[in-house]
Amino acid sequence: MRKLLSVLLALCLLGSLLVPFAVAEELEPITLTAFRGDPGDQPYEDNKIYKKIEEEFGITFEWEFLAGDLDETLGLKLQDMDDLPDLFDGGNSAETLIDAGALINLLDYVNPEDTPNLWAHIEPQKNRIITKDEVTGEDVMYIIPNYGLGEGEQIVNSVGGPAFFIQKQVLAWAGYPEIHTLDEYFDLIEKFIAENPTNADGVPYVGFDILCEGWRHFCLINPVQHLMGRPNDGEVLVDVTKDDYPTETFINQPYAKAYYKKLNEEFKKGIISPDTFVMSYDQYIAQLSSGTVLGMFDQTWDFGDATNALLTDKKYENTYVALGLVYDEDDVAAEDMPEGWTIEEHYVNGSLPNLDRGFGISVSCKCPERIVAMWERMLDYDWQMLFNWGVEGEDYSVVDGRLTMTEEQYANTQDIEWQRHNKARAFFESSPKRQGYIMDGEFAGQCWEPGNQDEIVFGLMNEYDKDFLSHYGYSKFGDFVNPPIELAPYGEAWQIDKADIQKDYDDYLRIQDEQLPSIIMAADDAEFDAKWDAFVTEITPSADIYANFMHEQILKLVDAYYGEDAE
Query: Strand ranges (DSSP E) for 427-557?
Result: 435-436
Above 90 in pLDDT, residue 567?
Answer: no
Q: Is residue 266 part of a domain?
A: yes
Domain-embedded: residue 413: no
Domain end (from 380, 397, 431): 380
Domain assignment present for residue 342? The answer is: yes
pLDDT at residue 13, rounded to an integer: 40
In a domain? residue 232: yes
Query: What are the residue ranges of helices labelled H in 196-293?
Result: 218-221, 223-227, 254-268, 281-289
pLDDT of residue 25: 55
Render pLDDT for 16-70 as a digit per residue (tens, 0 to 9): 333 333 444 578 999 999 999 999 999 999 999 999 999 999 999 999 999 989 9
Question: Domain tally for the chain?
Answer: 2
Q: Are residues 197 and 334 in the same domain?
A: yes
Condensed to tens digits (0 to 9), the pLDDT of residues 113-143 reads: 999 999 999 999 998 899 888 788 899 999 9
Residues 288-313 pLDDT 10s: 999 999 999 999 999 999 999 999 89
Q: Is 249 helix (H, G, I), strand (E, B) or coil?
A: strand
Range(s) of the domain holding residue 208: 193-278+317-347+486-561
Question: Last residue of some domain: 365, 380, 395?
Answer: 380
In a domain, 372, yes or no: yes
The per-residue DSSP string of 354-394 comes to -TT-S-EEBTT-S-HHHHHHHHHHHTSHHHHHHHHT-SBTT
First to last CA, the chain: 33
Mean pLDDT of the chain: 92
200 and 266 in one domain?
yes
Both 251 and 267 in a single domain?
Answer: yes
Predicted confidence at residue 329, as pLDDT, reads 82
Which pLDDT does position 7 carry in this prediction? 36
Q: In terms of domains, do 73 and 34 share one?
A: yes
CA distances from residue 286 to 183, 199, 283, 317, 455 in whole angstroms, order as listed: 28, 16, 5, 17, 31
Instruction: Please check whether residues 339 and 202 belong to one and the same domain.
Output: yes
Q: Which of 129-133, 175-179, 249-253, 294-298 has the lowest mean pLDDT?
A: 129-133
80 — phi, psi (to 5°)?
-125, 95
Residue 477 belongs to some domain of the structure: no
Please tell me the predicted confidence (pLDDT) of residue 117. Answer: 98
Has residue 4 got a pLDDT over 80?
no
- Tell me: do 376 and 343 sit in the same domain: no
Asked whether residue 73 falls in the same domain as residue 197, the answer is no
pTM for this one?
Answer: 0.78
Question: 528 lies in a domain?
Answer: yes
Strands (E), 45-91: 59-65, 87-89
The phi and psi torsions of 113 (rounded to 5 degrees) equal: -80, -50
Question: Looking at the domain assignment, is residue 180 inside a domain?
Answer: no
SS3 content of the chain, % helix, strand, coil (to 5): 45, 10, 40
> Same structural domain for residues 200 and 137?
no
Indicate whether 250 pLDDT > 70. yes
> Are residues 63 and 40 both part of a single domain?
yes
Q: Are residues 361 and 268 in the same domain?
A: no
For the chain, what percent of residues have pLDDT higher than 70? 95
The domain that holds 80 is classified in CATH as: 3.40.190.10
Say whether both 331 and 360 belong to one domain.
Answer: no
Average pLDDT for 170-179: 98
pLDDT of 92 reads: 87
- If asked whether residues 260 and 141 sit together in one domain, one would say no
